[in-house]
Structure 1
Amino acid sequence: MELKQHYDIAIVGYGPTGVTLANLLVKQGLNVLVLEREPQILQLPRAIRFDAECMRVFQTIGVAEKLQKELVPGPGMKFVDAEGNLLITWERPTQKGIHQWSSAYRIHQPDLEATLREHVERHPLLTLKLRHEVYKIDEQPEQCTLFFENLANGTLHQATAKFVVGCDGARSLIRRLIGTTFEDLNLHSRWLVVDFIVKNNSNDLGDYSIQFCDPQRPMSYIKGTGQRLRWEIMVMPEDDVQKLTQTETIWQLLSAYIQPENAEIERAAVYTFHALLAKQWYKDRLIIAGDAAHQTPPFMGQGMAAGIRDAANLAWKLKQMVSDDQHSDLIESYHSERISHVKEFIEGAVSFGKIIQNYCGDHEYQQQVSQLKNFITPTPKLGKGFIQQTEEINGQIAPQFILAQQQLSDDVAGYHFCLFVLPEFQSEIEELELHELEHFTIIYANCPEIMQWLRENHTHAILIRPDRYIFGKASSQQSIEQLIKATHLYDVITH
């Protein structure tokens, strides 16, 4: 084995979660090793949706402008019964909202991954090893030693890192080393997923996704980017799964909606959709994120988005952990904040899945449909963690504002803590010398939208974390100085 190199963070897995995390870590000056067993991006459609919050993460990384050329806003989803009667409408506005991005976007996952990889692979702090597989990790008090094989030639290698993050998918090695079990959220079903490249608009059912709640054969229609189209078809008890993926069977199943002369099949595969949540996301210096930590059915389009949120929550905390090992509670907060947040989305997907898969029209079913009839995308708060627990606003995602010269507030804030404050408190800020704090941005409320936001929340200052979630606010009961002290992340300036 060669002499081992040392890194701040090692990431196992280089899918959307891993590459997002790598981008955010090197942006903060951390030395990062990425180990990925595959030789290149899998050139097949997989995730085809993400939301405005994810777009803000990509904006922070610096790829939003490029991604816009590849994205199409998606307007939402409709649920219909076997006769075509509308059951549920889930609107996702295409106009820009409080995040200054559309509610949801359609994407071809290989294109997204390529953009994120291209951006981070230029960075000198990233060491990328494709076709390398981790087979062992030794944990020591101050670091971990990773043992991995170069699959191209069979040579064995070592490296050390302060922390190891497993973004290595549903069969995660890192999760197994942590030793956690799953909470089962009670949805496991097999579906045939077929992706098409269409030749014309003959079989275009519109921009809305459509869930066909037909007890004879539940199906989903999802429009992708460009000429891509996806149909998901539930596997029924009487199906011969071996025959289900055959071309002739696919065209027969979808004969009412799409024909061979109008499209070609890009891929067809049977997947088992799961609703699972790992009970523990970290142990000492091992951490998991993305599909390694949670698996969600696709009925809300939140699988990949959840992993992006994991990366955004974790990256700035790892920076603090590398700088000061005393802040071990930050990793605990990653688990406690994210697990309740992602659970709400998984439970939402399970509720939708049961409606799609179990259509029966009885009273209980109609009640479920009625409760979701005009569904609005949830915006869960973070679970208890690195936020002040005293106010309802704390732990919520903050809006993004358009500042002078059309600047977006996230761009001005950078990947730092940011204090939004009324202008009349500028003298107090100057006395505290907050401008001298590293990795800290101050934005004065010089536009009506920020002033209104502060006053609606009965405060003169709100402190936002690097992941754009609200840490806390200053009010008559708490000064700005006390708010900053409560983070415990900065040297308190005394006079």
Structure 2
Amino acid sequence: MSDAVFDVALIGYGPTGATLANLLGQYGLSTVVIEKDAGIYALPRAVHFDGEVMRVFETAGLRAEVETISRPGLTGMHFNNAQGETLLIRGGTHARGPHGCATNHYFHQPALEAVLRQGVKRFACVQVHTQHEVVAIDENDEGATLLVKSISTGSSFSVSSRYVVGCDGARSLVRKVLGSPMTDLGLHQPWLVFDVLLKTEMPRLPDHTVQHCDPVRPMTYCNVTGQRRRWEIMLLPGDDPAEMVKPETLWKLVSPWVQPEEAEIERAVIYTFHSILGQGWRRGRLMLAGDAAHQTPPFLGQGMCAGIRDAANLAWKLDAVLHGRVSDELLDTYESERSPHVHAFIDLAVRLGDIIQTTDPQAARERDAKFKAGQPTIFEFPTPRLGPGFWLGDVGPVGQIFPQPELADGRLLDQVLGVHFAVIGTPEVLAQVSEDTRQRWHHHGAVVLVATDPLVLTWLQTQHASAVLLRPDRYIAGMARSASELDRICLGLLAEVETAH
């Protein structure tokens, strides 16, 4: 360990760190993971991820395994008022959404973490050290040296790596070393999270998630997986936190839905829901990901998802840099792209929280009247554009993620494209690009796909495009109407970051 120099050191082995370890392992990058806990935290935490995140798991080669421990959420999320009337419904509950899978999924976090950690074992290039803690980080021009302490023995050793990613949560050591300030986006509200295991079938409990927008006591109900159910209960002024987590209080709070003889308590804990966005996710060889960089309220189920998206954004950039295809200036696009994207989700979650957390009766009546002017409002799952970075153009879906259709031969698109750049275009445009562009595609390992599939052709026609350049994370880097325009896009993007051509 003391003699080796790893490509990447990951501090923290939660969902973000474990996903990034899988993606880096696929690229063959030597990676060391340092995690202070001995094993997976056994109790529930995150319970939802979206279709884009399932697509990341698919890219990591783990979709089938993740599907065995999760369930598709096909019945939406309903925001109901105190009278049980539905005000608002989260749409996007298709069995086959734009990412080639269900748009929403529910899961038990320990089961997901077990799948991710088992996946890491496929890669000899990834070492994992649990029950070890990073106590100091020494940066230099070539990388960083971590002082690592064994929690079980107290002994210490050093680990050197060319890059370090802090996936080490809200109390991140890496963030402290970077001195990255956190911007408060306005939400700090304590909630009681109450998880149960049902002892019997309970058809009276809805299949869908319900946000009970009751000013007397705002609550959330969630059907997780199997017999797992969750209630999240907003604390009000005057509530005693110690009293709120007592079994007699818990059962009283959920008595309209479940009785003590029908379920057993798995966990009851009080969290403060935050909306926080860090500034300065990268300095030199050090970077932040997941909760170390941002914290999202749970009203849209995007907290863990944001960290997984961080991992997907970072993995291909680290691969390109560490394999010498591009300069490390590409890593400067990590925060510039991801921060506005996360901010968009946080803003929407805060707005949804404002609907749920209304406790003033008159304000609640006014809210209900606005929604009841028509049928329940349906809002679709957001697809924000990346912030400024490695993409070119300002029209259509450029800077957004490309859909994943099922092709005519039964394969999903990503199975054909792999994990590097991809170019999809009509035969005419692909045949007319310059030799310099072709060499550039070869330099970056790009897959070139002639658009003959009806769904892909329809997408291009709808966007009035003849070709599209996709990044390895499947975000659209550029769209072109002609071969010369595709040449300009590839020159303007790829040539800017290349170290050798």
Both structures adopt the same fold (TM-score exceeding 0.5): yes
**How many angstroms apart in 2 are the aligned matches of 1:209 and 1:370?**
20
**How many angstroms apart in 1 are the aligned matches of 2:104 and 2:402?**
17
Residue of structure 2 equivalent to 1:170: 170
Residue of structure 1 equivalent to 2:336: 336
| 8 Å Cα contact 1:387-1:395 kept in structure 2 | yes
- Superposed displacement of residue 244, structure 1: 1.1
**How many angstroms apart in 2 are the aligned matches of 1:32 and 1:484?**
31
Residue of structure 2 equivalent to 1:124: 124
1:250 aligns with 2:254: no
What is the CA deviation profile of residues 234-262 of structure 1, one whole-angstrom value per residue up to 9, with x for unaligned ones?
11112111111111111111111110111
| 8 Å Cα contact 1:203-1:262 kept in structure 2 | no
Alignment: residue pair count: 492
Residue of structure 1 equivalent to 2:226: 226
- Superposed displacement of residue 214, structure 1: 1.3
SS in 2 for 1:271: strand
- Superposed displacement of residue 458, structure 1: 2.0
Residue of structure 1 equivalent to 2:49: 50
Residue of structure 2 equivalent to 1:472: 478
Residue of structure 1 equivalent to 2:327: 327
Change (3 A) 1:325 1:10: farther
Give the letter aligned to residue 403 of structure 2.
P
Tell me how large the CA RMSD over aligned residues is. 2.1
SS in 1 for 2:321: helix
**How many angstroms apart in 1 are the aligned matches of 2:351 and 2:431?**
52
Residue of structure 1 equivalent to 2:405: 401
Give the letter aligned to residue 491 of structure 2.
K
**How many angstroms apart in 1 are the aligned matches of 2:228 and 2:390?**
41
| 8 Å Cα contact 1:437-1:490 kept in structure 2 | no
| 8 Å Cα contact 1:215-1:358 kept in structure 2 | yes
| 8 Å Cα contact 2:430-2:483 kept in structure 1 | no
- Superposed displacement of residue 392, structure 1: 3.3
**How many angstroms apart in 2 are the aligned matches of 1:370 and 1:330?**
49
**How many angstroms apart in 2 are the aligned matches of 1:404 and 1:374?**
32
| 8 Å Cα contact 1:221-1:230 kept in structure 2 | yes
What is the CA deviation profile of residues 352-391 of structure 1, one whole-angstrom value per residue up to 9, with x for unaligned ones?
1111111444387458858993221111000111111343
Segment drifting more, 399-408 vs 239-248: 399-408
**How many angstroms apart in 2 are the aligned matches of 1:20 and 1:250?**
35
Change (3 A) 1:89 1:357: same
What is the CA deviation profile of residues 64-111 of structure 1, one whole-angstrom value per residue up to 9, with x for unaligned ones?
012222221112111111121222111232320221111100111111
Give the letter aligned to residue 275 of structure 2.
A
**How many angstroms apart in 2 are the aligned matches of 1:438 and 1:282?**
24
Give the letter aligned to residue 321 of structure 1.
V
| 8 Å Cα contact 1:297-1:350 kept in structure 2 | yes
What is the CA deviation profile of residues 28-84 of structure 1, one whole-angstrom value per residue up to 9, with x for unaligned ones?
111001000000111111111001100110111101012222221112111111121
Residue of structure 1 equivalent to 2:201: 201
SS in 2 for 1:79: strand
**How many angstroms apart in 2 are the aligned matches of 1:385 and 1:204?**
49
Change (3 A) 1:203 1:4: farther
| 8 Å Cα contact 1:391-1:472 kept in structure 2 | no
**How many angstroms apart in 2 are the aligned matches of 1:388 and 1:478?**
15
Percent identical among aligned pairs is: 43
Residue of structure 2 equivalent to 1:293: 293
| 8 Å Cα contact 2:49-2:104 kept in structure 1 | yes
User: In structure 2, which of residues 454, 457, 476 is the aligned counterpart of residue 451 of structure 1?
Assistant: 457
- Superposed displacement of residue 483, structure 1: 2.7
**How many angstroms apart in 2 are the aligned matches of 1:92 and 1:455?**
24
| 8 Å Cα contact 1:281-1:287 kept in structure 2 | yes
Residue of structure 2 equivalent to 1:427: 431
**How many angstroms apart in 1 are the aligned matches of 2:287 and 2:251?**
44
SS in 2 for 1:479: helix
What is the CA deviation profile of residues 150-191 of structure 1, one whole-angstrom value per residue up to 9, with x for unaligned ones?
101001010111110000001111111110111111110111
| 8 Å Cα contact 1:165-1:287 kept in structure 2 | yes
Residue of structure 1 equivalent to 2:446: 440
Change (3 A) 1:245 1:413: same
| 8 Å Cα contact 1:355-1:369 kept in structure 2 | no
Change (3 A) 1:33 1:370: farther
Change (3 A) 1:343 1:395: same
Segment drifting more, 215-224 vs 321-330: 321-330
Give the letter aligned to residue 305 of structure 1.
C
Give the letter aligned to residue 15 of structure 2.
P
Residue of structure 1 equivalent to 2:31: 32
Residue of structure 1 equivalent to 2:310: 310
TM-score (norm 2): 0.93
SS in 1 for 2:44: coil
1:461 aligns with 2:467: yes
Unpaired runs of 5+ residues, structure 2, are none
Give the letter aligned to residue 231 of structure 1.
W
What is the CA deviation profile of residues 415-457 of structure 1, one whole-angstrom value per residue up to 9, with x for unaligned ones?
1101011123353369564574452101111111111111222
Unpaired runs of 5+ residues, structure 1, are none
What is the CA deviation profile of residues 88-136 of structure 1, one whole-angstrom value per residue up to 9, with x for unaligned ones?
1112323202211111001111111111110112311001100000010
Residue of structure 2 equivalent to 1:144: 144
Change (3 A) 1:142 1:85: same
| 8 Å Cα contact 1:282-1:335 kept in structure 2 | yes
